[in-house]
Amino acid sequence: MKKLTQIIPEDLQDKIKKEKFPEWISPTLATLTHERFSDENWVYERKLDGQRCLVFKKGKKVDLYSRNQKKLNKRYPEITEAFSMQQEDFVADGELVAFDGDKTSFSMLQQRMHSNNSGGNVRVYFYAFDMMYCNGYSLEKLPLRERKKLLKKAVDFNDPLRYTSHVNKDGEKYADDACTKGWEGVIAKDAEAPYAHSRSKKWLKFKCEKSQELVIGGYTEPKGSRKGFGALLVGFYDNGDLHYAGKVGTGFSDEILEKMHQKMKNIESKNNPYAESDIKVKNVHWLKPKLVGQFQFTEWTKDNRLRHPSFMGLRDDKKAQKVTKEQPA
């Protein structure tokens, strides 16, 4: 086995140290930002819409873990097998994804995420983007750019294992291109930063989000110290019926929570306004379907639910009965 020090430049060798194979390494979590930028000291990777996964590979033994330490080997046996054939010992960070055409699809991956079998014909790939340990050495203090170079050398990337490429400098253009292609977004990473073990502003999310107006048909009680209400229940009209599209619990300031709560209390109803009678949400106050809001989200699921929705504001320029699900051209 090739010693790690033989492939690390001499000027970086004093930044690594020998360590026992780790039992666990808490992953770096990216922070959402709405401000895109370009910087030659940062790298920009495609944001993959899948399941975060850490790989602990020692000899022939491979353990796949979710970010909350749930073991994933039985769900993704082909990924486990592919890593077991690698020569080096390492801990790597990446994303498990499935594709719908040329786009990563969280909905497709669901068939594998909630079962301990092959999930039918859904193929899964592991996109590696970082390496924190290799052949007896901790790499966490090395700059990200150097860790990615070592990752590319240490792992034999053939399907279903893939290396997550990046671009330098042109973060804004890359993000624009990502949104045009229908990707989920871009992850911007400080190329000189060490590996963190918590949510970090050295990793930032540039998300591509869709938006449209939706009817507000109910709200839930607030929890803890939150004011006003907890979440909105929203929907759209189709053939005269109001259809449920999910809950929205983010995007509200304290002022908006209180003002909207007062507005909604005046139009409360005893009746569920949605065509779906089996909405499994507790502590709901139903509303007469009069209010329309603007919401942003990442995608529609196959059962017409919003994924990652956020409130943008109320609208008074469109009647509720005119609100339908917007279809791409």
Give phi and psi for 270, each to the nearest 5: -80, -15
Query: Please, how many CA atoms are within 13 Å of residue 289, restricted to the half-sphere of its CB?
Result: 24
Neighbours of 253 (CB within 10 A): 10
Q: What is the mean pLDDT of each run of 10 residues along the chain (329 residues)?
A: 67 84 95 91 94 95 93 94 95 95 83 64 95 94 95 94 95 94 93 94 89 95 92 97 96 91 96 94 95 90 92 86 80
Q: What is the model's pLDDT at position 3?
A: 65
Give one DSSP letter per residue of 3-22, joined into a string: -GGGTS-HHHHTT-EE-PPP
pLDDT of residue 316: 78
The pLDDT of residue 114 is 63
Residues 6+ apart with CB under 8 A from 195: 25, 28, 130, 132, 139, 140, 141, 144, 147
Residue from 47, 57, 189, 202 carrying the catalytic annotation: 47
Whole-structure pTM value = 0.73
- Annotated catalytic, 18? no
User: What's the confidence (pLDDT) of residue 125?
Assistant: 97
The CA distance from 191 to 146, in Å, is 8
User: Residue 63 CA to chain centroid, in angstroms?
Assistant: 22
d(Cα 255, Cα 53) in Å, to the nearest integer? 38
**Cα–Cα distance for residue pair 204/35, rounded to 1 Å:** 10
Q: Compute CA distances 133 → 52, 91, 130, 165, whole Å.
A: 18, 5, 10, 20
CA-wise closest residue to 183 among 165, 205, 209: 209
Integer Cα distance of 133 and 251 in angstroms: 38
3-state helix, strand, coil in the chain (%, to 5): 20, 40, 45
Q: Which amino acid is at 67?
A: R
Pair 82, 161: CB distance under 8 Å = yes
